[in-house]
Amino acid sequence: DTGVSQDPRHKITKRGQNVTFRCDPISEHNRLYWYRQTLGQGPEFLTYFQNEAQLEKSRLLSDRFSAERPKGSFSTLEIQRTEQGDSAMYLCASSLGGTTEAFFGQGTRLTVV
């Protein structure tokens, strides 16, 4: 499978715990995006990378959220001290350059209890 893959697919965690998600983009894609989606809403931008550089981060993203793409390949998204409001689908996407369409992974569904 050469598409975007995300791991885990589902995560249930207790409030206050830290969680980390992984995204493996399509291999030749240099851009990687993280989005969050809640029920009835479109995907909400969190951050994106060009290679290993984090080029933009949403101002809606609190300090509890951090993302890395250390070698310009896979990326991780960490949420510290999770809150119930963090419950959502976390989607990763990748694209080749900044003008082509983005391809999404199947997402990681986070439930904070």
The residues that touch other proteins, with contacts defined as CB under 8 A, are 33, 35, 40-45, 48, 55-56, 91, 93, 98-99, 101-107
Bridge partners of 35?
A: 45, 91
User: Min. distance of Cβ 42 from other proteins in angstroms?
Assistant: 4
**SS3 (DSSP) at 84:** helix
Please say whether the beta carbons of 54 and 47 come within 8 A: yes
Nearer to other proteins, 63 or 101 (CB): 101
User: Min. distance of Cβ 85 from other proteins in angstroms?
Assistant: 18
Token pair 């951050």 is found at 47
The alpha carbon of 100 is separated from its chain's Cα centroid by a whole number of angstroms, namely: 19
Nearer to other proteins, 85 or 98 (CB): 98
User: Min. distance of Cβ 30 from other proteins in angstroms?
Assistant: 12
